[in-house]
Amino acid sequence: MPATPYYLIDKSKLLRNMEKIAYVREHSGAKALLALKCFATWSVFDFMSDYMDGTTSSSLYEVKLGREKFGKETHAYSVAYSDGEIGEVIENADKIIFNSISQLTRFGDKASNIVRGLRLNPQVSTSSFDLADPARPFSRLGEWDVTKVEAVMDQISGFMIHNNCENDDFDLFDRMLGNIEQKFGSLLSRVEWVSLGGGIHFTGENYPLDKFCARLRAFAQKFGVQVYLEPGEASITKSTTLEVTVLDTLFNGKNLAIVDSSIEAHMLDLLIYRENAKVLPNTGDHAYMICGKSCLAGDVFGDFNFEHEVKVGDRISIDDAAGYTMVKKNWFNGVGMPSIVIRELDGTERVIREFDFTDFVSSLS
Ligand SMILES: Cc1ncc(COP(=O)(O)O)c(C=O)c1O
């Protein structure tokens, strides 16, 4: 057993998501690209690539990672490309999606040897977090003015529209797509492909996959387009835990347990969105606040219930720890970086990466 902390990626759990993605591809005709911004732990890409069509990216480095480690279709997108990186992005992508008409105008000719597209912003989204809402006031994420987009239609063959956020409600997805059809229908019938982005929680339990497939197929037929999905969270949800050990316990009006990890350093997204971590089954009479070991006062994973008293040396598994965690981990406080461990389909565990003091030093200068 490796020393904690470590992220434990369980391939049999990952497989459940992959099989649902493969089902959707087969029954809807849509293609599915892994959104690397959410999950870029390339040691499992070989496994995932049997079930998905490729990757989509947010930067030069992600596009290169997708091409090198995942293969298949490689989509490039970025909020803004620089003069210095655009050449290498084009070299490494099959398709490039510009965020604005001005970026398309500036770099479109350079990219004329690959497929080109533009991001559209329907100005409505399912996000309840202002921080993650692509339709927030003054959003820079995509074009919305149909007249302006019409003027550049000769330079593009498709669109990307990302306006769902952890949306597990099929009816809401259906309404969002209806809105897109209404707003951008005249443009959609003039292109060959449309990516509907990520944020659709279709691998979750009880999601009506057949209705989803039928809706995607109807959309594709209506406009004569190849549909793409860009699942990040949906690809890896519930596949991974963060394994930690209790280092100390205190009572300060509440039972506290301090673990050898940090929400700030190792599950930053939860802190940013002010959400609790998940510890299962979260039952029993012993309530503890599980705290990280950084000096940030609010470095708290959450309050959880346990069947037994929590003692120094106990192991705790923080659930659902794959998405927006490993891609955002940092060296705050010099807290030891979790190793990455894969549990194979036969149950054996393999440490694929450990980090030590030299990694900490080399991340600084
Ligand atoms: C353009 C785009 N595609 C895909 C995704 C992946 O979203 P999720 O991880 O919620 O599926 C995002 C997330 O922000 C995105 O901005």
Digit-coded pLDDT (tens) for 222-235: 999 999 999 999 99
The answer, yes or no, to whether any atom of ligand 1 lies below 6 A from the CB of 142, is: no
Among protein residues, the one whose CA lies closest to atom 7 of ligand 1: 198
Average pLDDT, integer, range 6-22: 98
Half-sphere exposure of 202 (CA within 13 A, CB side): 32
Please tell me the predicted confidence (pLDDT) of residue 228: 98
Q: Is the pTM of this model over 0.95?
A: yes
Question: Tens digits of per-residue pLDDT, 82-133?
Answer: 999 999 999 999 999 999 999 999 999 999 999 999 999 999 988 888 898 9
Q: How many CA atoms lie within 13 A of 327 on its CB side?
A: 19
Cα dihedral 302, 303, 308, 314 in deg (nearest 10): 20
Answer whether 197 contacts ligand 1 (Cβ < 6 A).
yes
Name the token pair of 208: 């009506």
For the chain, report the end-to-end CA distance as a whole number of angstroms.
33
Indicate the top mutation candidate among 121, 162, 227 to test ligand 1's pocket, ranked by most ligand atoms within 8 A of CB.
162
Q: Which residues, 6 or more positions from 61, have their beta carbon under 8 angstroms from its beta carbon?
A: none
Query: Which residue type is seen at 172?
Result: L
What is the C-alpha separation between 191 and 193, in angstroms, rounded?
6
What pLDDT, in 10s, does the model give residues 346-364? 999 999 999 999 999 999 9
| Mean pLDDT along residues 273-295 | 97
How high is the pLDDT of residue 2? Answer: 84
Q: Give the H/E segment covering residue 98.
A: strand 95-98
> Which residue among 17, 38, 57 has the greatest number of ligand 1 atoms within 8 angstroms of its CB, and so is best to mutate?
38
Q: How far apart are CA 176 and CA 199, in angstroms?
A: 12
Give yes or no for residue 271 having a pLDDT over 80.
yes
CA 298 – CA 332 distance, rounded (Å): 14
Pairing state between β 226-229 and 31-35: parallel
Mean pLDDT of the chain: 97
171 burial via Cβ count (<10 Å: 0-12, 13-18, 19+): exposed
Q: Is the CB of 38 under 6 A from ligand 1?
A: yes
